[in-house]
Structures are given as structure tokens and as C-alpha cells.
Structure 1
Amino acid sequence: MNMEVEQVMCAAERISLIEECNAFIAAQPVRSARTARVGVALPIDKDELNAAIMGSGIAGFDASMSKRSKRIVKNTYMYADLAALLKYPAASQKEQRYNEFMRLMTLAGWFAFSQPYNRYQAESQKVTMDNIALSIIHGAVGAAVGQGQAALKVLSTVADSTMEALKNEPEALALFEKNSKKAEGGNFCMTSALQDAEGGITMAVAAVQYFAKAQQTKVLFVEWAPTSVEVYNGAATMEMDEEDYLIAEPLIVKALTALREKALSIEFGPKA
């Protein structure tokens, strides 16, 4: 894996770059969103469960994680994802959007080891997007540095159990499908996170974008023929100490508050 090279910067520079991003976000026309309902009113986000849908993102949390750590993952992910999408909305800008997402995660306080954005090569005649995401995240975990094998196994296990649980959560799945599908295909991200004894957070990320000749009614848990869909992916593992986030937190929370209707999140699964 290649280490992101522009990660070590002073606090003032990080704040300046986040403020620059926030100014860009504030300048974008945001249409008034309708009240978010997926079958019934979405539950209040309490950071108590072990998985969540964050827009087009699927997040899995190990039982080791505190509410505070889950909130950090959600806030930084949603901020980077929304801002990158606003800046690079076109389907042709998939690589720029992923790189901007990674840049903003770094500014938020994550220390990232990232694989290049590339085209996914299917190894079978039938694929499912859920299995593609899991294979990407397993690959990212396998290439991770600085973590023991036990921790790496936890990240893979969390990803597997989160995707399996999502099958039985119609409200969460409906929100994901609504946010991940586009006319020409779709994009989504999957994350798996854990917390160590000192409070440090480790997260594996798989970003997927696909272009389909014919859009299916579902994204996950259905078979796609590799000849009918082009899939691109990026992957990374990230580490964070909470102190690195504190500098950026007020600015990120401020931006998310303004975009809260676009940053919908729903928890699912049993309590961690």
C-alpha cells in the first residue's frame, strides 16, 4: 500500500483547508429535502447499535467501540463523502471524487494507507455488489500495516457480519438503495471499524462505483453479469487518535449541521 503523502501538516493549515472546503459547501445550492421516511420515521441516531447506513455508506462497528468513537467515524465519513460528491458530482469524475474523499478524511484526522483507484476485475461469471465490497475490504485489511492479526481479523469479521445483518433490515436497506443508485449505475462505500485499548480507532474502507447497461431494481444481494457492468474501486485502511480529530471537529460538525438533511443516518443490528 502507498501511504498518503500529504498527511503531516500543522493544525493551522488543516483548519484553513477545512474552512476553505466549508466555504465551498456553503456556496452550493442545496434543494430543500423532503422529510426522510423509509417506510416509517427513521429512528433517532444514538450511536448505540453495531452498524449504520450513512447516506450511500455501510458502516460496521466492533463491540469494542464507544459511542464517541462511532460518532467520530460517522461524522468524518459523512463530511468527506458529502463534500466530495458536491465538488465532483459527475460520473466521469469518479477518481477525483475518491481522491477528494481521502484528502478530506486526512484533514479530519485520519492517517491513511490507500490503494490506487482502479477498475475491479471480476473472477467469476456472476458477481454481487455485496461480495465485491467485501472482497475489496478484505484486501485492504490484508494489506494493512501496524495492526496485529487479531485486530485485522476483527475488521474482516465485522464487515462480513454487517453485510449479513443488512439483508434482514428492510428500512436500512431501502435508505441505502435510495442513496446509492444513480441513473447510469451507482456508488457506495463500506467501512469496518474497531477501537483499541488506548482509544485509537482503526477503519478499513472499500469504495465502489459501477456503471450498468441496464439498472437493476436492487444494488446489493442480486447477481450481475460482469459483461453488463463496469466496476471501479478504491480501498484504504485508516487510523486515528481522537486528539487528531478535536482540531477539526467544530468545523466538521458545523458543516454537517447545515447539511443534516443530506447526511441521513440510520442504525441497525443488535446493540454492540
Structure 2
Amino acid sequence: MSDFESSLSTSERIDLVRARVERRKKAVAGKRRKRSLPSAVVTSPTKELDALVLGNSLVGYGDNISIENMAIIENLITMSKLEANYEVPGNKDPKAWYHAFTKCLEDLGCFVPDKGYTKYSATSLKVAMDNVMVDIVRAAVEAAKAAIPGAAVLSAVTNSTLDALKKEPEAINLLNIGAKSAEGVRLSTIPCEQMSNGIILVAIAAVDHQGGGNDGGVLFVDWKTSSLDIFHGKSFVTFNPARYAEIRADIEEYLGEHRKEILVKRFRRRK
């Protein structure tokens, strides 16, 4: 599994994380912080509440991932999203945002082998947005399956997380708030699982859609894509949680200042 771990040394990762922390400190120094929306739920993850809305992302956990590793991946994703929001503000360049997001994941010690960003081609002229998300996640999973045993389970996690979301009006509403607008929206479904050797495996699917209107109702669940140009980034990501302790303090310092910039709502994936 060493081929699917970050090549950064401990000292390199610590330096990169601390540089990000210091840069954000300087950015807010002397400025009055804007009041951010409070998190809907601030509790730690549990096996029962094993899916969550994290800003404009939907995260779902597989059956094997530990609660500790749920917390680790949430912190990695949250910091990477916040850094991407900071580096590419205003919802104006989803491609640049996606690359900033994956670059931060790499700085934190994740292995991200593919950061491609291309136009999405649907096999049907009229498909639901959630099916598009499943297709894109499946493509990310396919990239991992040949090399990583057990990767196929992420497709099932994606399906069950989307199905559970449709039964949670409050979670859908928070996802709408996180997405904010129709043009250039970055929506991500992020299924996560823990492999038998302890490595965390994640599929990343980022989408922006432009033009047209919306033929359905609720964002992400009912939208149809026949009149939209859809672009996407997809990859699989791995992380060895044994390496997290080295950067935990710096990440938690960062998140202590900025976590509430991202809305959180936990819900039950297994219905």
C-alpha cells in the first residue's frame, strides 16, 4: 500500500500545514471577522449519524470506518475546503477551486493520484443530478478498483447516502445554503471507507454546472441536466491515519478559528 501513500516527509507536511495556518492568521489579523452561520450540529461523528452535509458537500461513511477515522477525514476535508474557499473566493472558478482543494489534501499528507477536470457526457438526454453524481463517483471508484481491493464499495455508499439525504429535508436545505447559486456550483459527494490495512479510502466528485435552468425542485436531488453544461473533477484519495498525529495540533488550531464557516448537519445513512 506504500504506492498509495503521500511521498511527503513528516517535516515537509508539518511545514506546509503551519504555513497555511500562519497565512490565515495574517489574513484575519486586524480585520473584524464577519459573523458566520453557526453549525447546525457540532457533535462528533457516531456510527448512527454516519452521513453529513459539510457546506456544499455530502459525506457518507462505509460500514468499516472507525469513528476516529471519521473525525480525521472530516478535519482533512474541512480544512481543504476552507483553504480552497479562501484561495478561490466568490464561487467564480470551480476548476481552480477543485485544484486548490486537492492541493491542500496533498499538503496534509493525502495521496491524490488524479486531479483531472473535464466535461461530463451523459448517456441520456435527461438524467437527474443525483444520478450524475453517482456516475462521477463511480468513475473515481473505477480508477481505484484495479489497484485497491475493496474500492467498489464506495459506489454503494454513495447510493445509500443520496437515498438517505432525500428523507432529510433539513439536510437538503443546508446543502442548498452551502451551494448558494445555480451557476458554477461545486457539489461533491464524498464516500469514505476504511480498508483492512487501516488506510482510509475516499472518492471525490466535484461538479460545476452552467447555463440553462432547473426543471426540478430541490437542488441536487430533483434537478435535471438536459439544459446544463456539466464539468467535473474526480479522483480517489487515500490517507494513512497513523500519520495524522504529527499534524493534529496544527489542524485543530486552524479549524478552531474557521470551522463555523462551513455548515454541518449529521444524519443517518443506514435507514
- Per-residue deviation at 1:163? 0.6
- Per-residue deviation at 1:46? 2.5
Counterpart mapping for 1:94-173 below 5 A: 94-144=94-144, 145-148=146-149, 151-173=150-172
Alignment match, 2:178: 179
Alignment match, 1:31: 34
The ranges of structure 1 where at least 4 consecutive aligned residues each deviate by more than 4 angstroms after the TM superposition are: none
Q: Is there any run of 5+ residues in structure 2 with no aligned partner, and where?
A: none
Task: Report the 3-state secondary structure (helix = DSSP H, G, I; strand = E; otherwise coil) of the residue aligned with 1:237.
Answer: strand
RMSD over aligned CA atoms reads 2.4
- What do the CA deviations read for 1:219-238 (whole angstroms, capped 9, x no partner)? 212242433x2221111111
- Per-residue deviation at 1:197? 2.9
Write the letter of the residue equivalent to 1:87. E
Give the Cα–Cα distance (whole angstroms) in 2 for the partners of residues 74 and 156 of structure 1.
19
Same amino acid, percent of matched pairs: 25
- Per-residue deviation at 1:161? 0.5
Give the TM-score normalised by structure 2.
0.87
- Per-residue deviation at 1:260? 2.1
CA contact (8 A) 2:17 2:107 kept: yes
- Per-residue deviation at 1:58? 0.5
CA contact (8 A) 1:45 1:265 kept: no
Give the Cα–Cα distance (whole angstroms) in 1 for the partners of residues 71 and 143 of structure 2.
26
- More moved, 85-94 vs 139-148: 85-94
Task: Report the 3-state secondary structure (helix = DSSP H, G, I; strand = E; otherwise coil) of the residue aligned with 1:111.
Answer: coil
CA contact (8 A) 1:112 1:236 kept: yes
- Per-residue deviation at 1:270? 5.1
Give the Cα–Cα distance (whole angstroms) in 1 for the partners of residues 91 and 261 of structure 2.
19
Q: CA 1:200–1:35 in structure 2 vs 1: closer, same or farther (change >3 Å)? A: closer
- What do the CA deviations read for 1:111-152 (whole angstroms, capped 9, x no partner)? 12224111212222213221111100001101214312xx12
Give the Cα–Cα distance (whole angstroms) in 1 for the partners of residues 190 and 57 of structure 2.
8
Q: CA 1:219–1:244 in structure 2 vs 1: closer, same or farther (change >3 Å)? A: same
- Per-residue deviation at 1:92? 4.2
Give the Cα–Cα distance (whole angstroms) in 2 for the partners of residues 176 and 89 of structure 1.
18
Give the TM-score normalised by structure 1.
0.87
Give the Cα–Cα distance (whole angstroms) in 1 for the partners of residues 117 and 13 of structure 2.
24
CA contact (8 A) 1:45 1:266 kept: no
- Per-residue deviation at 1:44? 4.0
Give the Cα–Cα distance (whole angstroms) in 2 for the partners of residues 138 and 86 of structure 1.
29
Alignment match, 1:52: 52
CA contact (8 A) 1:61 1:193 kept: yes
- What do the CA deviations read for 1:58-84 (whole angstroms, capped 9, x no partner)? 111012111101001111001101111
Q: Give the number of equivalent residue pairs.
A: 261
- More moved, 114-123 vs 95-104: 114-123
Q: Is there any run of 5+ residues in structure 1 with no aligned partner, and where?
A: 37-41
